[in-house]
Structure formats: structure tokens, C-alpha cells
């Protein structure tokens, strides 16, 4: 794509400060690695998102939509195309008694705090997941026996032509790390979260307990994308990795966490290539020792260095 031509067209859709050219992706993903995106944009309204999708679709411009970047890995060569970021720039709330309507860029941690502040219970499980609502809806994020499908009343989704439709919980096809968003090319705009009235102190106590469990069991002090692999049927990825003698194993600056073997971490100035190399080594070793094929939960995108 012609970056200058695309940039000039984008200026007709967005204010200039919302458009970043050759933007280093290590600033935008939780692994803190990745080469530059050709252009990254931060729309703040549905109309801007609609116009971006219409433009990219009509002109066949490669693009991705990301939230907080807590479940993706951009390769060292960066991303050739447009990155549409929906994070704190698209994160408004609207409370209607025990239902919260939230834009897709809102962080789950912020939603949890807002719910607690309104004495609403049911979202505590998600309050420590380091991602946005949009990403959580796409992957039906879950933790501590809770999943998004348990609290979502409905979701507003936009197609590639800018049309918006509201989908019920059932319509969303929620499954393990799966939803309608993983099957079809749609963008989450907002969702209604159905909660229950509760006691502030009990909600806070539960959130504090879950936060403490995460701090003691997960390597939160290092950049990562959370659990690197999906849970294989009948097994736990972390145990398979540990039983393969890979706990603490390093590949360049990437390492299998010594605190939790299910986490690959950026231990010491890792490159995206280091992380990908370690992921592939883990998958091969686990298959050779246990006959189980691990599938990464993190999405790997972009170009190798030599393709720039």
C-alpha cells in the first residue's frame, strides 16, 4: 500500500493526532516486542470506525483491530497495513440499574472497578484479566470459573460495511476461547453486561483475593500475553510443559516462567523472534514427550525482519 496516499485519505476520516505512522508496536502490546506498523489509528467514535472499515474494505488495505494488545504478538518486521486500536480511546460506560453498557475498548480491570463502585457483583472473575472488553468477547475470556458468556446480555457488532447489529448472548456462540467474532469478520463495538446487586465489601474482598492469587501464581512482573497456550482437552498446558522439563527454559531473551510454566515471558529484552522460537520449541517438546499438540492462545501477526 502507498503509505502517503493512505495517510492523506485517513486525514479526511480522523483528526491528525489520531493517526500514527511507522508506529513501533512494542508500545502497544503487552509482550513489549514487535516492529512498526505502517499506520496505527485511534478512532474515538462509531462513525470513525465505520468510515475506516468502509475505506479499508473498499481499497483492500490489510488491517487488524486490537485492544490492549494483551493477547497478540507482532513479529520483528512489524505489520504491513493499518492497525485500528480500540482501547482507552473508545471506552465509555453507561449504567442502567444492574446492566452496564460498555464500549469495546474499556479495560476489564476498569469495568470491574466501576461495577464494584456501583455495588454490582458478577464481574469479579474478569477484573484481573489484562485486556479490553472487545478482546474478551472475541475469545470468551475466563478465569476462576467465570467466563464472559456468564455476564454478557448482548453485543453490538459492526460488519466490514459499517452496519451495526445487536446480537444476543446465544447469537454470540460463546465457547472455550471462541465466539462469533472468531468465526466471522465482525468488530465488537459495545456490550451490555448483566450483573446483580451486591455488597461492596464482599465484592472488594473477592476482587482482592483473586488479585492476590494472580500475584502469587503468575509472573505479572514480566511482559507476557498471559497464558500462552489453550488448554488441551483432558490436560493442563502448564503441567505438560513443566513435566517436559521446560520450566525456566530460555530461548534468547524469552523464558518459560519459573513461577507458572503456562506463561512465556519477555525475561530479558526478548525479540518477537525469541518468543516465537520458544513457543515452537515448547510445542515440539511437549508433542515428542506426551503426544499432545499444544495450540497457542496468543495470536501471532506481522512480518519477519527480512520481509521489510
Q: 247-250 long-range contacts, Cβ below 8 Å, gap at least 24?
A: 249/278, 249/281, 249/282, 250/278
pLDDT at residue number 196: 97
Instruction: Specify the pLDDT at position 177.
Output: 85
Q: Which residues are catalytic?
A: 177, 227, 297
Nearest to 281 by CA among 249, 238, 237: 249
The CATH number of the structural domain formed by 237-307 is 3.90.78.10
Which CATH number describes the domain made up of 3-85? 3.30.43.10
Q: Do domains 3-85 and 237-307 have the same CATH topology?
A: no
> What's the CATH fold of domain 93-217?
3.30.465
Q: Cell triple for residue 187? A: 468488530
pLDDT tens sequence for the chain (308 residues): 788 899 999 999 999 999 999 999 999 999 999 999 999 999 999 999 999 999 999 999 999 999 999 999 999 999 999 999 999 999 999 999 999 999 999 999 999 999 999 999 999 999 888 899 999 999 998 888 899 999 999 999 999 999 999 999 999 999 988 999 999 999 999 999 999 999 999 999 999 999 898 889 999 999 999 899 999 999 999 999 999 999 999 999 999 999 999 999 999 999 999 999 999 999 999 999 999 999 999 999 999 875 44
pLDDT for res 305: 73
Which backbone phi and psi does 301 adopt, to 5 degrees?
Answer: -135, 165
Q: What is the pLDDT of residue 3?
A: 86
Q: Where would I find the beta strands (DSSP E) of 202-285?
A: 250-251, 254-256, 264-266
Average pLDDT, the chain: 94
- Domain segments of the chain as ranges: 3-85, 93-217, 237-307
Supply the pTM of this predicted model: 0.93
Distance in angstroms (rounded) separating the CA atoms of residues 165 and 175: 21
pLDDT of residue 308: 44
The confidence score (pLDDT) of residue 306 equals: 53
- Contact assessment for residue 37 and residue 79, using Cβ atoms and an 8 Å cutoff: yes
Helices first, then strands: H and E counts in the chain: 8, 18
Question: Could you write out the DSSP letters of every residue in the chain?
Answer: --HHHHHHHHTTTS-GGGEEEEEEGGGTSTT----EEEEEE---SHHHHHHHHHHHHHTT--EEEESSSSSEEE-TT-EEEEEEE-STTS--EEEETTEEEEETTSBHHHHHHHHHHTTEES-GGGTTS-SBHHHHHHHT-EETTEEGGGTEEEEEEE-TTS-EEEEETGGGT-BTTB-HHHHS--EEEEEEEE-EE--HHHHHHHHHHHHHHHHHHS-TTS-B-SS-B---TTS-HHHHHHHTT-TT-EETTEEE-SS-TT-EEE-SS--HHHHHHHHHHHHHHHHHHH-----BSSEEES--GGG-
Q: Are 302 and 74 in contact (CB under 8 A)?
A: yes
Instruction: Say what the pLDDT of residue 62 is.
Output: 95
Amino acid at each position: 500500500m502507498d503509505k502517503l496516499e493512505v495517510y492523506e485519505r485517513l486525514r479526511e476520516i480522523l483528526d491528525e493526532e489520531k493517526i500514527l505512522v511507522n508506529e513501533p508496536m512494542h508500545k502497544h502490546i503487552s509482550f513489549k516486542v514487535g516492529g512498526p506498523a505502517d499506520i496505527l489509528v485511534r478512532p474515538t467514535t462509531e462513525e470513525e470506525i465505520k468510515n475506516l472499515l468502509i475505506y479499508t474494505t473498499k481499497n483492500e488495505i490489510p488491517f487488524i483491530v486490537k485492544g490492549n494488545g494483551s493477547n497478540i504478538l507482532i513479529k520483528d518486521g512489524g505489520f504491513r497495513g493499518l492497525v485500528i486500536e480500540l482501547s482507552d480511546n473508545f471506552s465509555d460506560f453507561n449504567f442502567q440499574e444492574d446492566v452496564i453498557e460498555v464500549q469495546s475498548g474499556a479495560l476489564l480491570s476498569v469495568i470491574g472497578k466501576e461495577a464494584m463502585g456501583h455495588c454490582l457483583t458478577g464481574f469479579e472473575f474478569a477484573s484481573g484479566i489484562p485486556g479490553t472488553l472487545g478482546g474478551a468477547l472475541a475469545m470468551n475470556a475466563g478465569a476462576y470459573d467465570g467466563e464472559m458468556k456468564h455476564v454478557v446480555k448482548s453485543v453490538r457488532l459492526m460488519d466490514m460495511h459499517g452496519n451495526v447489529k445487536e446480537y444476543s448472548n446465544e447469537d454470540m456462540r460463546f465457547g472455550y476461547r471462541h465466539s462469533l467474532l472468531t468465526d466471522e469478520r465482525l468488530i465488537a463495538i459495545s456490550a451490555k453486561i448483566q450483573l446483580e446487586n451486591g455488597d461492596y465489601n464482599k465484592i472488594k474482598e473477592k476482587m482482592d483475593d483473586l488479585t492476590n492469587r494472580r500475584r502469587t501464581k503468575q509472573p505479572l512482573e514480566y511482559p507476557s500475553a498471559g497464558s500462552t497456550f489453550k488448554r488441551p482437552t483432558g490436560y493442563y498446558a502448564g503441567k505438560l510443559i513443566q513435566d517436559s522439563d521446560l520450566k525456566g527454559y530460555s530461548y534468547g531473551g524469552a523464558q518459560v516462567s519459573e513461577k507458572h510454566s503456562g506463561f512465556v515471558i519477555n525475561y530479558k529484552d526478548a525479540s518477537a523472534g525469541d518468543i516465537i522460537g520458544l513457543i515452537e520449541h515448547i510445542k515440539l517438546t511437549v508433542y515428542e514427550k506426551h503426544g499432545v499438540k499444544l495450540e497457542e492462545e496468543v495470536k501471532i501477526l506481522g512480518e519477519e525482519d527480512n520481509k521489510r
